């Protein structure tokens, strides 16, 4: 298989989506599982996972800062959790 610019960009984009899921979704899921085991986000985690995956696929270029900067990651996770808890 020949290496082309498209295949390199696709690999970078897909790996960034995997890193976003690991750095954003996984800590949110673990916190919710520990603190609120009966919350809808915890009970329906496969659906939330798919929704987050689709959202990160669309919004990955806007969230690349959360991969490399721990402060942005913490701010995103905190704001996301506050938003989830406001809906209750």
Give the DSSP H/E element, type plus range, for residue 45: helix 45-68
The position carrying tokens 């991969």 is 67
Residue 53: the pLDDT is 95
Q: What is the mean pLDDT of each run of 10 residues along the chain (88 residues)?
A: 88 95 94 93 94 94 92 95 85
Distance (Å, whole) CA 9 – CA 20: 16
Residue 3: the pLDDT is 86
Q: Rounded to two decimals, what is the model's pTM?
A: 0.84
Residue 49: the pLDDT is 95
- The 8-class DSSP code of residue 39 comes to S
Structural domain spans, the chain: 24-86
Residue 1: the pLDDT is 62
Residue 86: the pLDDT is 85
């Amino acid at each position: 298989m020949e290496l082309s610019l498209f295949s390199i960009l696709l690999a970078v984009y897909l790996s960034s989506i995997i890193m976003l899921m690991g750095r954003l979704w996984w800590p949110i899921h673990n916190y919710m599982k520990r603190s609120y085991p009966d919350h809808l986000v915890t009970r329906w985690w496969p659906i939330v996972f798919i929704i987050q995956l689709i959202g990160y696929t669309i919004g990955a270029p806007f969230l690349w800062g959360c991969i490399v900067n721990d402060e942005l990651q913490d701010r995103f996770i905190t704001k996301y959790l506050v938003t989830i808890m406001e809906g209750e």
